[in-house]
Structure 1
Amino acid sequence: MDEPLIAIVGAGVMGTGISTLVVGHGVPVVLVDVDEGVLDRAAAASANGLRHARLTGALPPGRTPAKLRTTLSLDDVADATAVIEAVTELPEKKAEVLTAVSALVRPGTPVISNTSGIPIDEMAAWVKSPEDLIGTHFMNPAYLISMVEVIRGPRTADKTVESVLSLLTGLGRKPVVVRDAPGFVTSRLLHPMINDAAQVVSAGTATVEDVDTLMQGCLGHPTGPLRTADLIGIDNLVDALEALYARTGDERCRPGELLLEKVRKGELGRKSGRGFYVYSEA
């Protein structure tokens, strides 16, 4: 059996967090992006994430982290035992990456889209072997949150599901398999709620802080929806909402003006230093 090597395409917030999880469990990663500066920042963020994960006890005790290799060449995914696509939630971008990855990997290699809402069967049109395609929805930060939503498309093979479940459990994750649909479970419920929370603030009903405090104290939401938006990345949230709206027609999924305004201003959340809250470190 081949030694495991996980290729991750996209070195943004999610790709970096998933890379940190994988190398922290002793499995080597090749992280691919088109921007060398993004890769440099991802490597630094992953090193910081490993330290954080160790301090919080999120990594197996005594496990030596594996190597994280960064590259600008997508060809470097060819020898991977699994590929995780973690690019932005734009269909045209995912189609471009998944088509290219599918042409490079060996037959039977799981091709995993880390997606927050685009149906897997829609993506199946972009790959050579739809039976090898499956979805995951890691939560941010992936190296701390143990639950992972796994999305089986109508054409996903049993072997692919089994392989990905084995990979995730080996990484200390708790996978839950759901059927394919726009937004699946977590995004279909969470993203419209965050959109509603932003519109409550826009209407002047309550402040950002009060919305989050009430949702935490009264309804048990661990961080509050607007702090969660900052963690997701408001630009990523808007992209995901637009993808949901296009596929469901649900008006609750049409991004509200406050979210759109924040994206225009570059107030994208924790990663930019300002979103609904201000952060001392971007």
Structure 2
Amino acid sequence: MDVRNIVVVGAGQMGSGIAQVCAQSGYHVVLHDINEDIVERGINSIHRLLTRAVEKGRITDIEKDGTLNRLTTSTDIGRAHDADLVIEAVIENLDVKKELFQQLDQVVAAHTILATNTSSLPITEIAAVTNRPGKVIGMHFMNPVPVMKLVEIIRAIQTDEETYLKIESVAKELNKTSVTVNDFPGFVANRILMPMINEAIYTVYEGVASPEDVDTVMKLGMNHPMGPLTLADFIGLDTCLYIMEVLYEGFGDSKYRPCPLLRQYVQAGWYGKKTGKGFYTYT
């Protein structure tokens, strides 16, 4: 069965971005979250981004209206029953995701594929709590979703070939470039990115250089569009710490040990841009 109807669970920044690109690509999309306020914020975010795209001449008013007409909202998980594909984009917590996948497994149709947007957690373990492990897969979008072209498609050990091929096809329909990744901690993107960010934090922690100078080295010396500490603030230092802990626990290798300064900033509530303070101050 072809994928026509998509339910995105989680209406935060990632979930609303995924819902937007799916609707723009012609899919009928339900954006779901646990309460109306969160869903409303997600839809308003999509509306703002589409309006900006019209103003910049990237899309037409007709395309904007068509996208919005293909989007509906929900606070009832039962709406997932008609989905051909569910993409989960909730908090990066394994227990929360496993509980949600158990619930979805009971609600959706037999043919439905369950995909998780996790950036580092084990797909194999999530698949194991369902009665359809062959139809569970990772679909890790990059942030911001409407802009970034990459999708990591992560195969759990149980994922069957038909499921993989359908998700590869969906990624192509979304005008994304997909890479195939096996289920190891951090996959590819975060296994490479997060240790680099962690090492940049160590250079500040050890007094090697200031955050500004570390970022300048990586921007001007390595041609990175954004310095690693600015990027860490943008991602969220709490998220960076969580992913480093997943890597450290998953591999048992000291090279993945989170920098004490990262842990201290998170303990202080300095998560980066979303709290107004991280390695930089935001107003």
Q: Name the counterpart of 1:251.
A: 254
How far has the Cα of 1:169 moved from its partner? Answer: 0.7
Q: Name the counterpart of 1:78.
A: 81
How far has the Cα of 1:236 moved from its partner? Answer: 2.0
Aligned partner of residue 267 in structure 1, secondary structure: coil
State whether residues 230 and 277 of structure 1, in contact with CA within 8 Å, keep that contact through their aligned partners in structure 2.
yes
Structure 1 residues 178 and 32: alpha-carbon distance in aligned structure 2, compared to 1, 3 A threshold: same
With 38-47 and 48-57 compared, the bigger mean Cα shift is at: 48-57
Rounded to whole Å, the distance in 1 between the matches of 2:136 and 2:3 is: 21
How far has the Cα of 1:58 moved from its partner? Answer: 6.6
Per-residue Cα deviation, 1:203-258 (whole angstroms, up to 9, x for no partner): 22112121111112112222121222122222222222222222111233333233
Match status 1:133 vs 2:125: no
- Number of residue pairs matched by the alignment: 280
Rounded to whole Å, the distance in 2 between the matches of 1:71 and 1:183 is: 31
Rounded to whole Å, the distance in 2 between the matches of 1:83 and 1:70 is: 14
Q: Percent identity?
A: 39
State whether residues 18 and 142 of structure 1, in contact with CA within 8 Å, keep that contact through their aligned partners in structure 2.
yes
Structure 1 residues 171 and 221: alpha-carbon distance in aligned structure 2, compared to 1, 3 A threshold: same
Q: Name the counterpart of 1:65.
A: 67
How far has the Cα of 1:270 moved from its partner? Answer: 3.0
Structure 1 residues 207 and 174: alpha-carbon distance in aligned structure 2, compared to 1, 3 A threshold: same
The alignment's TM-score, normalised by the length of structure 1, stands at 0.90
Rounded to whole Å, the distance in 2 between the matches of 1:176 and 1:61 is: 33
Rounded to whole Å, the distance in 2 between the matches of 1:123 and 1:53 is: 36
Match status 1:240 vs 2:243: yes
Q: Name the counterpart of 1:30.
A: 30
With 271-280 and 129-138 compared, the bigger mean Cα shift is at: 271-280
Q: Name the counterpart of 1:5.
A: 5
Aligned partner of residue 123 in structure 1, secondary structure: helix
Rounded to whole Å, the distance in 1 between the matches of 2:60 and 2:132 is: 34
How far has the Cα of 1:152 moved from its partner? Answer: 1.2
With 219-228 and 159-168 compared, the bigger mean Cα shift is at: 219-228
Q: Name the counterpart of 1:87.
A: 90
How far has the Cα of 1:192 moved from its partner? Answer: 1.4
Larger radius of gyration: 2
With 259-268 and 71-80 compared, the bigger mean Cα shift is at: 259-268
Rounded to whole Å, the distance in 2 between the matches of 1:174 and 1:132 is: 21
State whether residues 230 and 268 of structure 1, in contact with CA within 8 Å, keep that contact through their aligned partners in structure 2.
yes
The alignment's TM-score, normalised by the length of structure 2, stands at 0.89
Amino acid at match of 2:16: T
Rounded to whole Å, the distance in 2 between the matches of 1:267 and 1:39 is: 26
Rounded to whole Å, the distance in 1 between the matches of 2:56 and 2:118 is: 27
State whether residues 84 and 111 of structure 2, in contact with CA within 8 Å, keep that contact through their aligned partners in structure 1.
no
Rounded to whole Å, the distance in 2 between the matches of 1:160 and 1:262 is: 41
Structure 1 unaligned regions, length at least 5:
none
- Which aligned pairs between 1:136-151 and structure 2 lie closer than 5 A? 136-151=139-154
Rounded to whole Å, the distance in 1 between the matches of 2:268 and 2:71 is: 33
Rounded to whole Å, the distance in 1 between the matches of 2:35 and 2:203 is: 38
Structure 2 unaligned regions, length at least 5:
none
Match status 1:261 vs 2:259: no
How far has the Cα of 1:61 moved from its partner? Answer: 9.8
Q: Name the counterpart of 2:42.
A: 42
With 132-141 and 71-80 compared, the bigger mean Cα shift is at: 71-80
Rounded to whole Å, the distance in 2 between the matches of 1:221 and 1:77 is: 40
How far has the Cα of 1:95 moved from its partner? Answer: 0.6
Per-residue Cα deviation, 1:8-48 (whole angstroms, up to 9, x for no partner): 11222211221222223332321222243322222222222
Rounded to whole Å, the distance in 1 between the matches of 2:56 and 2:207 is: 38
